[in-house]
Amino acid sequence: MESSKLLIALFVVQVFFPCHMSIQAAPENSDLFREYIGAEFNNVKFTDVPIDSNVEFHFILSFAIDCDSTSCSSPTNGKFNVFWDSDNLSPSQVSSIKSTHSNVKVALSLGGDSVGDSYAYFDPSSVDSWVSNALSSLIDIMQEYHLDGIDIDYEHFNADPDTFAECIGKLVKTLKNNGVISFASIAPFDDDDVQSHYKALWQSYGDLIDYVNFQFYAAFLIN
């Protein structure tokens, strides 16, 4: 997955948008490190990453995308496929890293920037059909990979903010209510269109969001 932007920093913060007034319970361990892994297909394994036993550590598999397995030019309306490096980040490897390190949890991230030359658009046919397809496909993936949580990282949209909020909010609510996931996060960045979609989600379903991964990008390359 290619991106024209260079990710230079990722701060995991638990914050509240000004428009949302509810208070979330503090986590048992406020020391948290999160690592996105698998998008670059550079053979990185869980065991290649140093893990501090004194912090809660989240690996986030990047990405699950609702488009066909070869190109995002054909969105699939919530029918998600695995687009991370599943050869090196397999279900057995997820089980192994979690059994070796009791402080490790593993999540998957939805969306991302692109597959090849095609952007990964959030492009639902309707709220109900997207949520139904997403639940069916994601529960299968999460159970196969023994996952704990979900991260929302859509960056491109063919739907208005309210539709995005309803689709993602209903998805997260159902997954939590059925014990499929124990946490959910969102990953906005400094872009007006992106922030309008995530703010709509926060306004309606902010009580379901446990973490905000605010991403910082720069449009330059480091030699």
Domain map (residue ranges) of the chain:
6-218
Give the residue with greater pLDDT, 116 vs 195.
195
| The pLDDT of residue 161 | 98
pLDDT of residue 217: 58
Residue 220 has pLDDT above 50, yes or no: no
Q: Which residues are catalytic?
A: 155
For residue 185, give the amino acid letter: S
Cβ 52 vs Cβ 29: under 8 Å: no
pLDDT given for residue 125 in this prediction: 97
More confident of the two residues 39 and 164: 164
Mean pLDDT of the chain: 86
Asked if the model's pLDDT at residue 64 lies above 90, the reply is yes
189 pLDDT band, cuts 50/70/90, is confident
Using pLDDT thresholds of 50, 70 and 90, give the confidence band for residue 12. Answer: very low
How many whole angstroms separate alpha carbon 49 and alpha carbon 57? 11
Sequence-separated (6 or more) residues with CB below 8 Å from residue 221? 6
Q: Decide: 206 and 22 in contact? Cβ < 8 Å.
A: yes
Residue 63: how many CB atoms within 10 A of its CB? 26
Please report, rounded to a whole number, the percentage of residues in the chain having pLDDT higher than 70: 83
**Would you state the pLDDT for residue 3?**
37
Second-level CATH architecture of 6-218 = Alpha-Beta Barrel (3.20)
Q: Say what the pLDDT of residue 22 is.
A: 29
What is the rounded average pLDDT of the residues 147-165?
97
**Per-residue confidence (pLDDT) for residue 216, from 0 to 100:** 67
List own/partner pairs for 67-76 with CB under 8 A and 24 or more apart. 67/115, 67/118, 67/120, 71/115, 71/116, 71/118, 72/114, 72/115, 72/116, 72/118, 72/119, 72/120, 72/121, 73/118, 75/121, 75/123, 75/158, 76/133
Amino acid at 6: L
Mean pLDDT of 66-78: 84
For the whole model, what pTM was predicted?
A: 0.84
Cβ-based neighbours of 159, under 8 Å, separated by 6 or more: 122, 123, 124, 167
Instruction: Give the tens place of pLDDT for each residue, 86-141.
Output: 999 999 999 999 999 999 999 999 998 888 888 999 999 999 999 999 999 999 99
pLDDT at 223: 47
pLDDT tens digits along 21-37: 223 434 455 699 999 99
H-type alpha helices, 91-220: 91-100, 127-145, 161-177, 192-205
Q: Which of the 8 DSSP states describes residue 181?
A: -
Tell me, what's the pLDDT at 219? 47
DSSP 3-state percent helix, strand, coil across the chain (nearest 5): 30, 30, 40
Q: How far apart (Å, rounded) are the C-alpha atoms in residues 24 and 14?
A: 9
Which residues are bridge partners to 151 per DSSP? Answer: 109, 185
Percent of the chain scoring above 90 in pLDDT: 70
pLDDT at 66: 94
